[in-house]
Amino acid sequence: MQTAKKKKRTKFNIIDFIIIVAVVLVIVGVVLRYRLADKMEGESVGVEAEISFIVPKIKEEAVSAFKIGDEFYIDGVKIGVLQSFTKDFAETYVENENAELVLTYCEDRYDVRGVILSNGVLTEGGYMASGTKFLAPGYDDPVKSKNIKCTMIITDITMIN
């Protein structure tokens, strides 16, 4: 009678099984999470970078919206702080009498070239501004600061340290 009771008490049931599976899954999850975190940390290095850019053919009023020290964002991610910029008459290509393109300069539009000082991480896959936003030369999309929203072309990224 006592043995039967003991047997009943140690019987393995579905609840036990679910609990064991849940515990195993939690352990596996924790291990994977830390291994992944280690891997990511191991492959990335915190860096400071200079992002060179050009914003072509904008009006003078827009040029005045570039302010040194302004923070620039892409998709809500801070990519850095405007360190310096220059403005030049916008390069424009027009057809000559032979129907070939020649370089000329448009005097009511400006090309703004500048440098943004950025903090991010350098991974095997490239530079990640603020550790999350991949950036590379060739980026040609909107950026914004508190004073301006414009289309910026990234022409170079140089790691400082």
Partner 1 sequence: MINSTKGAKDMEKKKFRFNIVDVILLLIIAAASAALGYIFLSGSGSEKSDTVEIVYTVDVPELRRELKNKIEPGDRVVDSVSLCDLGEVVSVEYLDQIYEGEDHKTGTLVYSVHPGEMMLRLTVKATASKADGFYMINGYYMAVGVTVSFRTPGFMSNGPCMSVEEVSA
Q: Which is nearer to partner 1, 64 or 132 (CB)?
A: 132
Q: Which is nearer to partner 1, 15 or 76 (CB)?
A: 15
Alpha-carbon torsion (89, 139, 131, 148), positive or negative: positive
**Chosen residue from 57, 83, 119, 137 binding partner 1 by CB under 8 A:** 137
Q: What is d(CA 29, CA 18) in angstroms, rounded to the nearest whole number?
A: 16
CB of 126 to partner 1, least distance (A): 4
Residue 147 DSSP class = S
Please state the closest distance from residue 159 (CB atom) to partner 1, in A. 11
Radius of gyration of the chain, Cα coordinates, nearest whole angstrom:
29
Q: Which of 2, 3, 10, 98 binds partner 1 (CB under 8 A)?
A: 98
Shortest Cβ 64–partner 1 spacing (Å): 24
User: Is residue 91 a contact partner of residue 109, using CB atoms and an 8 Å limit?
Assistant: no
